[in-house]
Chains A and B, each alone.
Chain A
Amino acid sequence: MSTKKRRDIQESAIRAFFFACGILAVLVLVGIFLTLLGTAVPAFREIKIAEFFGHTRWDPTSPEKAEYGLLSMIVSTLMVTAGAMLLAVPVGIGVAAYLSDVAHWRVREVLKPVVEILAGIPSVVVGFLGIVLFGPALAKLFHTANGLNALNGSVLLAIMSLPTIISISEDALNAVPKAYNEASLALGASRWQTLVRVKLPAALSGIIAACMLGMGRAIGETMTVLMATGNARSFPHGLLDPVRTMTANIAIELGEVPYFTTHYYALFAIGLVLFVMTFAVNLAADVVLRRYQEREQ
């Protein structure tokens, strides 16, 4: 009897341990949020919230008057991300459709790991190629002084978000019930018509979620934009302007800022803005993805 009791206690302890590990993810997420919030709030003792989000000048080290306008960086981030999505979404969906509907299964088995290789290339290497390979090519193409601008960043971020878009879109296409496919073909539709008018609409929510997850990655990407977009603090007027994104600004300034100053707190406030933006995008993608998976079951 006592061995059974001891065993029960042991079992509960083990269960409690695994539960604690499971709950850790929640604690880390909440911890990150509270840490950012707690470190960002002191910034707003000196900075007006309207200035932070509404002004375009960011000049925290100015000897006359420090300015903390984030708007140029928000616009830069959104511009580079939008450019990346414009390139990556059609190509990504195209590749996903190719893998699920056109490629022979043997070809697919080879190409899927190849896409995973692309996902494995570190962002700092992509940024490096932006400097030595893509930047000079863009400069030649558009006759600009150097190719370190928003367009370069968009191209590179598009490449980096492709694996996410491809693999999740492909899953969504494969999850479309076979009966849809067969019914459409039986009615005399071609494979192309079936793909465009039956499978893509049926998988649409999954594909949208895939694109949103890719976008979340592009918004939060740091090293590539830090290295390849020129980092000018001015307001961007076009894709050929050099830009400084929010992530790049944190990376540039956090190393030199004295701890626990308004400037330091302001950098954490940027981190909080980034966290909230990516969290919202990912959460939305998650809701879309869950809803369509529930429907499948």
Chain B
Amino acid sequence: MKRAARKNVIQALGFLALRLSMALVLAVLILFLYDIGSKGGGAISWEFLSQAPRKGMTQGGIFPAIFGTFLVTVITALLAVPLGMSSAIYLNEYARQTRLTRLIRLSIRNLSGVPSIVYGLFGVILFVNVMRLGTSVLSAGLTLGLMTLPWTITASEEALKTIPDSYREGALALGATKWQTIRTNVLPYAVPGMLTGTVLGLARAAGETAPILFTGAAFYLPFLPKSLGDQFMALPYHLYIMATQHHAILQVRPLAYGTALVLIVFVLGMNMTAIVVRYRLRRKQR
């Protein structure tokens, strides 16, 4: 009886420790969001969102940075989404288990672990120097696109895996070719899931700073890029500058908080949309 009591006490203490670790993580997240939300909220105004920075960034808004982040994310998507989806189609629909497919999968998993600053170095050589795109919104977008590729492939493959084999067999039995089968019986059902997972990858790319540091982001550029060959301002880089490189760091701190809030809303907004849509899709499939 005494032993049983001790067993219960130990279990209660153990579970308490587990609950506390969960509470700790929640507390950190709430602290993050509260600090940014409460202090950044005051900086947000229509002027802040719609105007360019003025007077050495101590006044005005962050519109060029919002626009730049949006533009670079579009370029990232244009590179990473079609390539990622096609790659996933190959892996899930065509590939057999060979040494080569194992190598491809291994590469994809390792690519997602390559540090973002290393992608930045690669982008400097490949896009800025070799392809002579210069430090531009195009170079930065392509660098981010390569970085996002492994995530879009993995996400798209997960979506393809959820399509039951009977869909494919039905089409093949009626004499459709492989591609016809994929086009008519697989993709229409898989594309929403593929896009959802892809958005999560794009959200991460939109918040990245290291890969765009040397491939096209500009310190202070109070106008919009006129072409894809121009440099651009981006929200993450702008926040970095405001927090560390500005001569009047304390003076611009409210603006930095405002920028952080806009960046978080931008990135988490994409994340939440994807999570909600994925949740709905899963329930529908059941």
Contacts and interface: CB of A to CB of B under 8 A. Distances in A.
Given A121-B268, A193-B7, A250-B117, 18 more contacts: A25-B104, A26-B103, A26-B104, A29-B111, A91-B21, A97-B18, A102-B19, A113-B279, A116-B275, A118-B29, A120-B203, A122-B236, A220-B115, A222-B209, A254-B213, A254-B214, A255-B213, A271-B118
B224 interface: no
Contacts of B31: 133
Contact of A128 (B21, B103, B256): B256
A122 B208 contact: yes
A94 interface: yes
B114 A128 contact: no
A247 B32 CA distance: 24
B13 to A, nearest CB: 8
A192 B18 CA distance: 11
B247 interface: no
Interface in A109-158: 111, 113-118, 120-129, 131-133
A279 B110 contact: yes
A28 B149 contact: yes
Interface in A10-49: 10-11, 14-15, 17-19, 21-26, 28-32, 35-36, 39
B92 to A, nearest CB: 10
A23 B104 contact: yes
Interface of A: 7, 10-11, 14-15, 17-19, 21-26, 28-32, 35-36, 39, 90-92, 94-95, 97-99, 101-103, 111, 113-118, 120-129, 131-133, 159, 162, 166, 190-193, 195-196, 213, 216-217, 219-223, 226-227, 247, 250-251, 254-255, 259, 267-268, 271, 274-275, 278-279, 281-283, 286
A122 B240 contact: no
B131 interface: no
B89 interface: yes
B68 interface: no
Contacts of A97: 18
B25 A115 contact: yes
Given A98-B18, A128-B260, A282-B113, A26 B177 contact: no
Nearest to B29: A118
Interface residues of B, number: 88
A122 B264 contact: yes
Contacts of A11: 177-179
- Chain B contact residues: helix, strand, loop or mixed: helix
A128 B243 contact: yes
Contact of B213 (A123, A196, A251): A251
A97 B21 CA distance: 10
Given A29-B111, A129-B36, A219-B115, A123 B209 contact: yes
A176 B4 CA distance: 26
B114 to A, nearest CB: 6
Interface stretch (B53-61, B70-78, B120-128, B164-172): B120-128
Contacts of A195: 14
Given A102-B19, A127-B243, A283 B7 contact: no
Contact of B11 (A191, A213, A217): A191
Given A28-B111, A122-B264, A274 B275 contact: no
A24 B268 contact: no
A127 B109 contact: no
Nearest to A286: B109
Interface in B7-40: 7-8, 10-11, 14-15, 17-22, 24-26, 28-29, 31-32, 35-36
